[in-house]
Amino acid sequence: MTEWGDGTRSVHAGLPEPQPGQPFLPGPVFAAPYHLDPWRGPAATPNGYGRPDNPTRRLLEAAIGELEGGDCRVFASGQAAITGLLLAVLRPGDTVLLPADGYFPVRAFATATLEGVGVRVGFVPTAGPYPSFDGVRLVLLETPANPGLDVADVPALAARAHAAGALVAVDNTTATPLGQRPLDLGADVVVASGTKALTGHSDLLLGYVATRSAALMEPVTAWRTTTGGVPGAFDCWLAHRSLATMDLRLARQSANAEALARLLADRADVTGLRWPGLPGDRAYAVASVQMRRMPGVLSFDLGDADRVARFLDASRLVAAATSFGGLHTTADRRAQWGDDTAPGFVRLSCGIEDPADLVADVAAALDASRA
């Protein structure tokens, strides 16, 4: 079989065989119950009830599965996917290691819920050092980490974890499957938010779990069916439609991130710059080997909350918004959400604006914010 490039794979992933008179991407199926065969019942059709069964959702799962290289189940949000994975796999007495610098709501869920049901929770910085994995059930890596953008060496950590009998999950939200394929790097399971760069239009909520292990996918699927954390048909259709432009979007976002990183690196009034594609970044050595492309997200510090506000007020192209990965450049002061970051810490997500325009606008806004 021909090994297609990222753009071709993104356009064609999950599409059914072409049928004359039918659209390229079949429309969403708005249904809760479906007609059943009066004699054979649910055995006669893959569609019986909307919570476990929806053909539009299955097409999206096939598409994301092709891109990640495994079987896929989509959820109503990234948080629903990751909490569903953790609760489906972990049992009282198990130990899980989570990134100390990863997505804050996951850490809050671990301490509020997992510890409450008897799961032992440990936190480790994405860049390490990592403790012994003996007795650990699951190691969750988030790489690049959100919002600090450190990078974990997935192949090395997966080998260590597997030798100790632990499973490895990778949150692939920031990288997307075009940026890295954790299953190819040795991970057992991938979890991600599709709300962000995967779909990239800031118009839906989505999450997914992907794996090559039927033994892992079975409890995840059962958990989703039982708890009902499924996305609607139209969200699935929007997500599948958006995948076709992912290669183009990510290319421009990554180019914009590189241009802004070079601008910010030369400014004395900006500190703590992180972007794993910058040769001087401490994550560069691992990221340049492990990742297929660099993310469109970078982070830096402007010193205090007031200067961040002045910067956003002065910018014509950078909008204040949480989440990331959309078509429009956005910036988020993470401390305002209770994240344990410095008051002036900014996570900036590059959109698809012209690089020269974006660089000029950010430079002018930074100059204005010093007043």
The predicted structure's pLDDT at residue 339: 87
Fold of 6-243: Aspartate Aminotransferase; domain 2 (3.40.640)
Helices 78-89, 214-227: axis angle to 10 degrees equals 120
CATH 3.40.640.10 in the chain, residue ranges: 6-243
Whole-prediction pTM? 0.96
pLDDT at 318: 98
| 285 has a pLDDT exceeding 70 | yes
Q: How far apart, in whole angstroms, are the C-alpha atoms of residue 297 and residue 319?
A: 14
Mean pLDDT of 312-341: 96
Average pLDDT, the chain: 96
Alpha carbons 200 and 242: distance in angstroms, whole number: 7
Q: List the one residue out of 178, 185, 298 whose CA is nearest residue 249.
A: 178
Asked if residue 331 lies in contact with residue 270, where contact means CB atoms within 8 angstroms, the answer is no
Q: How many CA atoms lie within 13 A of 142 on its CB side?
A: 24
Query: What integer pLDDT is reported at residue 219 of this predicted model?
Result: 98
Reference 333, options 303, 363, 371; nearest CA is 303
Provide the sign of the torsion angle of the four alpha carbons 87, 93, 94, 95, taken in this order: positive
Residue 3 confidence (pLDDT): 86
Percent share of the chain, pLDDT over 90: 98
- Superfamily of domain 246-369 in the CATH hierarchy: Aspartate Aminotransferase, domain 1 (3.90.1150.10)
Phi, psi of 177 (to 5 degrees): -70, -15
Residue-level pLDDT at 279:
96
| pLDDT score for 2 | 60
Q: What is the model's pLDDT at position 175?
A: 98
Helix/strand/coil (H/E/C) assignment for every residue in the chain:
CCCCCHHHHHHHCCCCCCCCCCCCCCCCCCCCECCCECCCEHHHCCCCECCCCCHHHHHHHHHHHHHHCCEEEEECCHHHHHHHHHHHHCCCCCEEEEECCCCHHHHHHHHHHHHHHCCEEEEECCCCCCCCCCCCCEEEEECCCCCCCCCCCHHHHHHHHHHCCCEEEEECCCCCCCCCCCCCCCCCEEEEECCCCCCCCCCCCCEEEEECCHHHHHHHHHHHHHHCCCCCHHHHHHHHHHHCCHHHHHHHHHHHHHHHHHHHHCCCCCEEEECCCCCCCCCHHHHHHHCCCCCCEEEEECCCHHHHHHHHHHCCCCEECCCCCCCCCEEEEHHHHCCCCCCCEEEEECCCCCHHHHHHHHHHHHHHHCC
Residue 18 has pLDDT above 70, yes or no: yes
pLDDT digits (tens, 9 = 90+) for 136-181: 999 999 999 999 999 999 999 999 999 999 999 999 999 999 999 9
Q: Quick check: 71 pLDDT over 50?
A: yes
Match 């974990």 to its residue by tokens.
152
What is the predicted pLDDT for the residue at 1?
44
Predicted pLDDT at 231: 97
Q: Which of 217, 308, 220, 295 is nearest to 261 (CA)?
A: 295
The pLDDT value recorded for residue 336 is 94
CATH 3.90.1150.10 residue ranges in the chain?
Answer: 246-369
